[in-house]
């Protein structure tokens, strides 16, 4: 399957838009989703409001996290395409070093600013354990039940998870698509096991590490290794089926793990329909949006604790995040070019 850089940026733009709005709306409206665990209570609240006047809030808050599997799919796809022609020449140390530097450049300046501003302006104190765990990408490995690290800032768990996927790629990159299918099924089975046979804390721990998201990443690798694509005449019926599966899996526990798969298939089928310039632009600066939006979410939530105009506040939040992310992206790219580091 072939995805151009342009198509990838459109998909990234859609994914980051969903994530950015989701992570803000669920806080200002106090609506809970089923991203990490499947809660019948959250599901029932969503279903009782999805057709109300507040439906847009509930859709973004409950389902906006589906942008995450899109990024993991593209990560698996991009890594496989990039290193597929270097099967015997990939330098493991250089590979790990380049990805760690890239993640550190993205995370550390904004995260440290997040901690400092939250402490001096809003009097929120972080434990040294939490700070070090975020800075070393080991926050995912801590026990969720022992501390509140997950709640603040929350979003940055993804950096530890993506580093785990970069390392996992080293071990499975030479496998053919058939063996990758087996690994994808194993990850799906782990998700099912966690869903039915673990407690809440264990489920969250699994879902914050590569074990809980592996199917999406492996699907990207499979797509990169196969030469077949969805025929144009089949995209509409497959897209309709995928959308139906996505809707049902979002609210039905027995097929909840298929949310990620149906999301990926649906977006691939719609890849031609989402080709709008502003989505492409968001895709280009998606890494900066991802790292900056939790900071502005924190500032907005503390500055406006009583949100009387949620729509206006959300629009201002989105505008500020996009503008500052564009500036951040420009500075970061210049830094990478200056030091001769490939930031792609």
| pLDDT at residue number 230 | 86
Q: Which residues, at least 6 apart from 279, have a Cβ–Cβ distance to it below 8 Å?
A: 9, 10, 13, 14, 17
Q: Is residue 326 part of a domain?
A: yes
pTM for this model (two decimals) = 0.93
Give the gyration radius of the chain's Cα atoms: 20
257 touches 195 (CB < 8 A)? yes
Q: State how far the Cα of 68 lies from the Cα of 87, in Å rounded to an integer.
A: 28
What is the distance, to the nearest Å, from the Cα of residue 141 to the centroid of all Cα atoms in its chain? 18
In this structure, the number of other CB atoms found within 10 A of the CB of residue 268 comes to 23
Q: Using an 8 Å Cβ cutoff, are 316 and 41 in contact?
A: no
Q: Kindly state whether residue 226 falls inside one of the protein's structural domains.
A: yes
Residue 171's alpha-carbon distances to 127, 178, 319, 325, 342, in angstroms, are 35, 15, 41, 34, 22
Distance CA 235, CA 238 (A): 5
The token pair that represents 336 in the structure block: 């990478």
> Is the N-terminal amide bond of 153 cis, ω within 30° of 0?
yes
Residue 324: the pLDDT is: 97
Identify the segments of the chain with pLDDT beneath 70. 85-88, 143-153, 335-344
DSSP string, 76-123: HHHHHHHHGGGTTT--HHHHHHHHHHHHHHHHHHHHHHHHHHHHHHH-
Asked if residues 177 and 309 have their Cβ atoms less than 8 Å apart, the reply is no
User: Which pLDDT score is estimated for 307?
Assistant: 79
- In tens, the pLDDT along 189-208 reads 999 999 999 998 899 899 99
Residue 321 covered by a domain? yes
Contact 251, 107 (CB under 8 A): no
Q: Which two tokens stand for residue 13?
A: 């733009």
Both tokens of 28, joined, read 């200002």
What distance lies between CA 328 and its chain's CA centroid? 19
Q: Let me know if 291 is exposed, middle or buried by CB neighbors in 10 A (0-12, 13-18, 19+).
A: buried
Number of domains observed in the structure of the chain: 1
Q: HSE-up of 47 (CA within 13 Å, CB side)?
A: 13
E-only strand ranges, the chain: none
Residue range(s) defining the domain that contains residue 235: 5-339
Rounded Cα distance, 331 and 182, in Å: 42
Residue 144 DSSP class: G
Q: Give rounded-to-5 percent helix, strand, coil for the chain.
A: 75, 0, 25
Eight-class DSSP state of 142: S
Any domain includes 344: no
The position carrying tokens 């600066």 is 285
Q: Please give the Cα distance from 76 to 6 (Å, whole number).
A: 17
**Coil/strand/helix, residue 136:** coil
């Amino acid at each position: 399957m072939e995805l151009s850089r342009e198509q990838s940026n459109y998909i990234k733009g859609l994914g980051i838009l969903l994530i950015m709005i989701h992570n803000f709306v669920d806080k200002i409206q106090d609506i809970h989703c089923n991203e990490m665990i499947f809660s019948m209570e959250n599901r029932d609240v969503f279903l009782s409001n999805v057709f109300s006047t507040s439906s847009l809030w509930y859709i973004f808050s409950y389902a906006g996290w589906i942008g995450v599997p899109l990024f993991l799919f593209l990560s698996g796809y991009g890594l496989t395409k990039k290193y597929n022609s270097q099967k015997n020449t990939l330098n493991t140390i250089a590979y790990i070093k380049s990805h760690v530097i890239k993640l550190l450049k993205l995370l550390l300046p904004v995260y440290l600013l997040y901690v400092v501003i939250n402490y001096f302006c809003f009097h929120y104190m972080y434990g040294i354990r939490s700070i070090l765990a975020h800075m070393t990408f080991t926050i995912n490995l801590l026990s969720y039940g022992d501390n509140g690290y997950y709640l603040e800032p929350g979003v940055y768990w993804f950096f530890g998870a993506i580093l785990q996927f970069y390392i996992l790629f080293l071990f499975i990159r030479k496998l053919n698509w058939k063996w990758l299918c087996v690994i994808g099924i194993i990850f799906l089975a782990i998700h099912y096991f966690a869903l039915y046979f673990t407690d809440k804390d264990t489920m969250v721990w699994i879902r914050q590490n590569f074990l809980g998201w592996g199917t999406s990443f492996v699907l990207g690798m499979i797509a990169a290794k196969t030469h077949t694509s969805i025929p144009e005449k089949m995209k509409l019926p497959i897209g309709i089926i995928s959308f139906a599966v996505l809707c049902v899996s979002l609210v039905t526990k027995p097929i909840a793990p298929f949310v990620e798969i149906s999301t990926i298939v649906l977006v691939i089928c719609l890849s031609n329909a989402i080709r709008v310039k502003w989505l492409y632009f968001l895709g280009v600066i998606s890494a900066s949006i991802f790292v900056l939006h939790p900071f502005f979410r924190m500032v907005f939530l503390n500055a406006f604790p009583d949100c009387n105009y949620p729509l206006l506040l959300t629009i201002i939040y989105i505008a500020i995040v996009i503008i500052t992310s564009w500036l951040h992206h420009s500075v970061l790219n210049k830094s990478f070019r200056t030091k001769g580091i490939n930031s792609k």
